[in-house]
Amino acid sequence: MSSSPFDPQSPTTPAAQSAPPPLPPGQSNASFVRLPKSPGLAACLSLFPGLGQVYNGRIARAFVFFFSWVGSIYLTTTGHEFPFAFMIPFVYLFNIIDAWKGANAANARFLGGRTEAEEQPEIESPVWGGTLVVLGLLILLNNLGWLDIDRLARWWPVLLIAIGGYFVYNSLEARKGSGGSGE
Amino acid sequence: MTRSAFSPEGVTFGVCLVALGVLGTLANLGKLELLPLLRTWWPLSLVLWGVLELADLFVRRSSSGRS
């Protein structure tokens, strides 16, 4: 049988000339590891918010992103343009980044890298749990008619102060943790 | 320190699905109105999630303090 120029086994093709020599029978290329998650695929899937998180196996996070996105659109169309109109692109882009990072984190865990708690310091902080409880109670009280969230709307910049304060606090703690070597 | 196998978001998701199934069944049997009930009480899922996150955090902190 004659060798074709398109035959990858043919020694005349450039691919065959540049390819590494084949391994002896019974030996495999041990340096190649198939990672469980593809960050690119996770990011592509999350073009529909939440789907990338589903791919990463984070179902609850997927629901949070999906309902945050849908809720922002709903509240924007029902007359709450500010600040929810700004939240739509924020939630959308953050969802893509989160899916990408989630897939990378899953791969790092697969390769025996850092644990989830080391990757996400907020896991070790009560801020996330406390925020969920406060947010849930505020919305519940509003739904029961015991509180008017619209009257609280003018206080939304306080949120910026709280978030800024949290970042400052974290930075100071990290500086303390590193022994203040920057001083 | 590794994170415990307990997943607050997973438990919350499961409890919400069970609750939704029970309420849906009762609604189909004509015992209650599902949508007004959900519209009012859905934030309880956030409260439950937050409480479980805090409980998980305190359990892990206390167990790491003991070891």
Mean pLDDT computed over every residue of chain B: 83
Q: B41, A135: Cβ pair inside 8 Å?
A: no
Of the partner residues A61, A117, A143, the one whose CB lies closest to the CB of residue B43:
A143
Q: What is the mean pLDDT of residues A179-183?
A: 50
What residues in A contact B45, CB-CB < 8 Å?
A: 136
Span A8-61, pLDDT tens digits? 444 444 444 555 556 555 555 556 677 788 999 999 999 999 999 999 988 878
Q: A126, B12: Cβ pair inside 8 Å?
A: no
Predicted local confidence at residue A12, as pLDDT: 47
A122 touches chain B (CB under 8 A): no
- Chain B nearest CA to A109, separation (Å): 11
A160 touches chain B (CB under 8 A): no
Confidence of residue A182 (pLDDT cuts 50, 70, 90): very low
B39 touches chain A (CB under 8 A): yes
- Chain A nearest CA to B66, separation (Å): 17
User: What length is written for chain B?
Assistant: 67
Which of B53-58's residues contact partners 24+ apart within 8 Å by CB, and which partners?
B53/A128, B53/A129, B53/A132, B53/B8, B53/B9, B54/A126, B54/A129, B54/A130, B54/A133, B55/B8, B56/B4, B56/B6, B56/B8, B57/A123, B57/A124, B57/A125, B57/A126, B57/A129
Span A124-178, pLDDT tens digits? 678 878 888 988 898 889 889 888 877 777 787 888 898 888 888 888 887 777 6
Predicted local confidence at residue A163, as pLDDT: 83
Q: Which residue is listed with tokens 């479980």?
A: B52
Q: What is the mean pLDDT of residues B33-55?
A: 89
Q: What is the mean pLDDT of residues A66-94?
A: 85
pTM: 0.59
Compare all CA atoms of chain B with the CA of A120 and give the residue at the minimum distance. B3
Q: Would you call A173 exposed, middle or buried from its count of C-beta atoms within 10 A (0-12, 13-18, 19+)?
A: exposed
Chains A and B form CB pairs within 8 A to the count of 76
Is residue A110 a contact partner of residue A38, using CB atoms and an 8 Å limit? no
Determine if the peptide bond prior to A49 is cis (ω within 30°). no
Predicted local confidence at residue A99, as pLDDT: 93
ipTM: 0.80
Predicted local confidence at residue A106, as pLDDT: 87
- Chain A nearest CA to B27, separation (Å): 21
Confidence of residue B11 (pLDDT cuts 50, 70, 90): confident
Span A83-137, pLDDT tens digits? 778 889 989 999 999 999 999 988 888 887 665 555 555 556 788 788 889 888 9
